[in-house]
Structure 1
Amino acid sequence: MSQFSSAESRLNTAKEPTSGFSPRRLLQTAWLVVAVFMLSNAPTPLYIHWKQQLGFTSGTMTLIFACYILALVLTLLVAGQLADRLGRKTVIIPGLIASLLACLCFITADSVYTLLVARFLTGIAVGVTVTASMAAVVDAGGESRKRQAALVASIAMVTGAGLGPVMSGVIVRFVPHPVYTVFAVELLVQLSALVIALRLPSAAKKVAAPRPLRLPTIPKANMFHLLLGILFFAPGLTSTSLMLSLGPVLLNNFTAVGSPVIAGVMACVMFAVAVGTQILCRQLPIARIFYVSGAALLVTMLSVVMTLHGGDVKSLFLAALAAGAAQGLGQLGGLTLLSMNIAADRRAEANALLNIGAYIPAGLLPVATGYLIDFTGMTFSFTLLAATLVAVAVFALGLLIKQRSVTL
């Protein structure tokens, strides 16, 4: 990993404004990430409730989830560039306003269209968070604590992603009027984040001749690195998207446990595994990280098929655990591979392309599965998706074995 350390040191040569390090400021800035990611997954235990109340199909349910992915991808195209040029605060505040509007839409949702708008606004807020807010957390760590601050940002993301569905699941199970209660709490959380964001430093980078916004690009010599990263990150992300959008359906129809609390806990554990495996495996060679990610993806799909054919809640939980590992390690391997092989001044664009390449199939495949369920039933649809992702994982592992000299 010496090459990675060298690349990291070159990246850290840019000087930041000197200011005293404040643990309180670091944690407050991390709360921006926790807050928005709580909102991103809070709807998970409520999908069955909305499906019953509004009478929509499984295909429509996955379309609501995909609307979030679409907004996130579109935001990723510009949010990072804007945050670098205008300053973090200038971009974070509109993102939090989008999250507040999303809460209001969820509270008043009486149709599928309102839910689509709510999820789209949530996607905008998350797109801003993974670019501007997470960069602000690293900024708060200062020059000498960038690695520690990056770890805080990663933990904040997973903490929020896990807390959201647990909080929502408990409210759905024990509190009357669950939709109103969940998003009233979320509204307060987003308001607290907005208060913190308004107190962030306003220093923006001054650019003498600002370039127009453009689509992210990557040098042709690095196309293979990007492709390999996407081939491992995308199936893992698709598997976690599947567990978030259709996991409650699997839980409700193929196990003896249909509690929204269990659905929330399952999502929480999945994201805890995602961050835990990244921490445990961060020093491994990239090839090994990818091997473990691919193996975890195979376990995920096998566990889903087992659930469909006589399994129980244990096999579904195993699928969630393995999905978290597949996503976490696929993301870690892809980001590390790009960091080691792409110059610092092109790295942000490469990371954006990696996320876009992963989020597009993560949105499209669960939607296709949801609509296929309406025509062919759950067993065939989930089995077909599992076979598709297994085929991608096997292809990626074969490509990794064949081209090891390119990646190490």
Structure 2
Amino acid sequence: MPGHRRGFWVIAAAFATSMAFSTVPTPLWTIYQRVDGFSTFMVTVAFTAYAAGVLVSLFLAGHISDVLGRRRVLLPAVLLEAVSAVVFLTSTSLGPVIAARVLSGLGVGMITATATAYLAELHAAARPGGGRARPELVAIAANLGGFAVGPLVSGALAEYAPAPLRTPYLIFLVLLLAAAAGVAFVPETVRAPDVPAPYRPQRISVPDEHRPAFFASAAASLAAFAVLGLFTSLAPGFVAGTLHHPSRALAGLVTFLVFGAAAGTQVLLRGVTVRGQLRTGLILMGAGLAAVSAAVWLPSLPLFLAGGMAAGAGAGVLFKGSVSRVAGMAAPGRRGEALAGLFLVAYLGLAVPVLGLGVATRFVPDRVALLGFAAVLVAVCAVAARGLPRR
């Protein structure tokens, strides 16, 4: 069906644009620190506010598109991202920045599951019998690819365009409004029931018979998200301060390389067994964290970039393997609940370790705090490795 085929790419574009917007502030944190006096700890608070918004939205509204319809949830979510952009444009002080980050997190929590399901259903309608590989690949590209492109664009705009704390948000506000206009005309794929069921939050459960394996997967996901959180919050500060490279474009490029490696490795290793993905992810992430820690002590920008890409690649494939493992071990009727438990731990990893790193920088030098952060994550990976399946 032509409408469903066009709609597929419209939703992919809206998905990627929304994910990209959520990482727009990444190369701008150093400007907030210089212009508005943000400390490293304040940056982590603003970042944690985003993660908290994602968590709340994911479990209160991330599943309601199954009942209300995909478009009815995705369109308001994209518009919520646009409202976040407007708040960013109103002020650069901490309060509005935190509010904008919360709004962005609420929108992303609604978008992630809804857009992924929407893509699968539009593809099935346009190409019956076409399989799931294409929509899954596009969803990965839109999700992690969007995360990668956002800081690359905002870093370039901040470096070469006027008003670095305004121009990136203004550009993405226009893109988000255009994405919302496109979503409004995409065919709906879910028929709302005549009598809607009573609302309930997303249920969370852990498979009783697989608790050790589940917690090992959850620990791996926590470590993976903590690494990605580092490169969307404090890494630009390390590049500008400890490594003495203040270019905003470079700060955006660092995050682009990390998320690009995460997305690319997922695609390259999609044919590898789940056990192989988990082991490869643990090795890459541990080696990458070690290289990043060494880079800030030497200091060495090339080593920092190489370590970031290795850590990002490991985080991407580790999370993909964890999702596949939990989905495979859970009973079909409780798969969504089991995955909700995994996402809960993963998004806690996005917030808590990075916040702890921000607190640590108030008492010890940044490079010492980063070394401790890496050591904790390597220890978590070691615990997760003990729970890997033997066959």
TM-score (norm 1): 0.90
Picking from 169, 177, 192, the partner of 1:191 is: 177
Matched residue SS, 2:92: coil
Deviation at residue 225 of structure 1 after TM alignment: 3.6
The equivalences for 1:7-22 within 5 A come to 22=4
Matched residue SS, 2:61: helix
Residue 36 of structure 1 pairs with residue 43 of structure 2: no
Once superposed, what is the RMSD of the aligned Cα atoms? 1.7
Residue 371 of structure 1 pairs with residue 359 of structure 2: yes
Residue 123 of structure 1 pairs with residue 105 of structure 2: yes
Deviation at residue 369 of structure 1 after TM alignment: 0.9
> Would the aligned equivalents of 2:67 and 2:196 in 1 still touch at CA under 8 Å?
no
The equivalences for 1:6-405 within 5 A come to 22-142=4-124, 143-145=128-130, 146-202=132-188, 203-206=190-193, 210-214=197-201, 215-400=203-388, 404-405=389-390
> Would the aligned equivalents of 1:254 and 1:308 in 2 still touch at CA under 8 Å?
yes
1:11 equivalent in structure 2:
none
Deviation at residue 151 of structure 1 after TM alignment: 1.0
> Would the aligned equivalents of 1:158 and 1:275 in 2 still touch at CA under 8 Å?
yes
> Would the aligned equivalents of 2:7 and 2:187 in 1 still touch at CA under 8 Å?
no
Letter in structure 2 aligned against 1:213: R
Of 224-233 and 325-334, more deviation after overlay is shown by: 224-233
Letter in structure 2 aligned against 1:206: P
Q: Percent identity?
A: 23
Deviation at residue 292 of structure 1 after TM alignment: 0.9
Matched residue SS, 2:359: helix
Matched residue SS, 1:144: coil
* Deviation per residue, 1:122-160 (Å, 9 max, x gap): 101111111111211111111523321121111111221
Letter in structure 1 aligned against 2:350: A
Deviation at residue 286 of structure 1 after TM alignment: 1.6
TM-score (norm 2): 0.94
> Would the aligned equivalents of 1:303 and 1:319 in 2 still touch at CA under 8 Å?
yes
Of 238-247 and 201-210, more deviation after overlay is shown by: 201-210
Deviation at residue 100 of structure 1 after TM alignment: 1.0
> Would the aligned equivalents of 2:63 and 2:114 in 1 still touch at CA under 8 Å?
no
CA distance in 2, matches of 1:76, 1:30: 19
**Compared CA separation, residues 386 and 120, structure 1 to 2 (3 A):** same
CA distance in 2, matches of 1:79, 1:110: 29
Deviation at residue 90 of structure 1 after TM alignment: 1.4
CA distance in 2, matches of 1:209, 1:149: 28
Deviation at residue 22 of structure 1 after TM alignment: 4.5
**Compared CA separation, residues 324 and 159, structure 1 to 2 (3 A):** same
CA distance in 1, matches of 2:175, 2:378: 39
**Compared CA separation, residues 87 and 345, structure 1 to 2 (3 A):** farther
**Compared CA separation, residues 207 and 357, structure 1 to 2 (3 A):** farther
CA distance in 2, matches of 1:259, 1:134: 35
> Would the aligned equivalents of 1:21 and 1:140 in 2 still touch at CA under 8 Å?
no
Letter in structure 2 aligned against 1:262: L
How many pairs were matched up?
385
Deviation at residue 233 of structure 1 after TM alignment: 1.7
After TM superposition, the runs of 4+ consecutive aligned structure 1 residues lying more than 4 A away are: 19-22
Deviation at residue 174 of structure 1 after TM alignment: 0.7
CA distance in 1, matches of 2:4, 2:59: 32
> Would the aligned equivalents of 2:3 and 2:186 in 1 still touch at CA under 8 Å?
no
CA distance in 1, matches of 2:385, 2:330: 22
**Structure 1 unaligned blocks of 5 or more:** 1-18
**Compared CA separation, residues 316 and 282, structure 1 to 2 (3 A):** same
Deviation at residue 272 of structure 1 after TM alignment: 1.4
Letter in structure 2 aligned against 1:352: A
